[in-house]
Structure 1
Amino acid sequence: MKRLKFLLVDDSPSTNFFNEIMIKKTAEYEEIQIAKNGEDALERLNSSFIPDVILLDINMPIMNGWEFLEEFQNLDARFDNTMIILMLGAKLSTDQKELITTIPNVRGCIEKMLTKDMVINIVTKFREKTLLNKCESILD
């Protein structure tokens, strides 16, 4: 079974540290990279790194999650199978929820700090390709 590559995109070192530890303890992974904002994440994607899963914070300096998603949609087909999960610390507006449904790679939303169950669910859903392309479940 393929080991997954993760990209954690968050401006909080403590959140990245915690989420990285949770992935390492829970999932069979090949690689975990950390980016401190959307610009840093795009630089990593423009190298040879192709993550299977991107865990993306929305509120970050320099380039926020929305700006990253806009740029991500312009990347080439190498990233067609990359699954993006939004890491949320607050509820999304109705407009933001509608926007998410238009971005094929966004496959779900979860609370900002990962739990063992969340990691298992992400890995399972990646393998099954069944996460919904909306974020209603934890936001309503």
Structure 2
Amino acid sequence: MMLQNQSICIIDDDEVYKFFMQRILKIKKLTENIITFPDGEEAYNFINENKQNPEKLPDLIFLDINMPIMNGFQFMEEYTKLAPQIAKKIIIYMVTSSIDPVDLERSKNFKEISDFVTKPITAEVLQKIVDSLKV
């Protein structure tokens, strides 16, 4: 079943990974609404510009930790300050290719982060995450 109105955002500097994620989301018919950003700064600016425009905001964000310009944790620090002004609740999953216990602990400092996922994200994991949005 296609979730026509669900919007998913991928914030990652790895173009191959973003392509892979978009293909899975479309092949599995999880969503057609996908927005991508190469770093946290561009994503933050987009969210800030659209904070009162819920139909433009994503329902779900996959946020990479290690990126140039503004990494995932820097994004979260800014997002946390902005969150009270955002017109919709956005589910955020922190994504990384390394299972660093320090990163895992640090991600727990942000109540806005739903969970921590390691790359590569399988189709099954993506399906489970998107299905959890329906509840």
Give the TM-score, by structure 2 length.
0.82
Q: CA deviation digits over 1:67-114, x for unaligned, max 9?
A: 0010110113426521111111001334x3333223222111222223
What CA distance in whole angstroms lies between the structure 2 residues aligned with 1:41 and 1:90? 22
- Length, aligned pairs only: 127
Q: Give the CA deviation at 1:2.
A: 6.2
Q: CA deviation digits over 1:21-63, x for unaligned, max 9?
A: 1111124325111100000111221233311100010000100
Do structure 1's residue 113 and structure 2's residue 120 form an aligned pair?
yes
State the match for 1:21 in structure 2. Answer: 23
Q: Say which SS state the counterpart of residue 131 (structure 2) adopts.
A: helix
Q: 1:38 touches 1:67 (CA, 8 Å); kept in 2?
A: yes
What CA distance in whole angstroms lies between the structure 2 residues aligned with 1:13 and 1:90? 18
State the match for 2:91 in structure 1. Answer: 83
State the match for 2:35 in structure 1. Answer: 33
Structural RMSD (CA):
1.9
What CA distance in whole angstroms lies between the structure 1 residues aligned with 2:28 and 2:80? 30
Moved over 6 A (4+): none
State the match for 1:64 in structure 2. Answer: 71
Q: 2:96 touches 2:119 (CA, 8 Å); kept in 1?
A: yes
Unaligned runs of 5+ in 2: 51-55
What CA distance in whole angstroms lies between the structure 1 residues aligned with 2:121 and 2:21? 6
Q: 1:124 to 1:77 in 2, by over 3 A?
A: farther
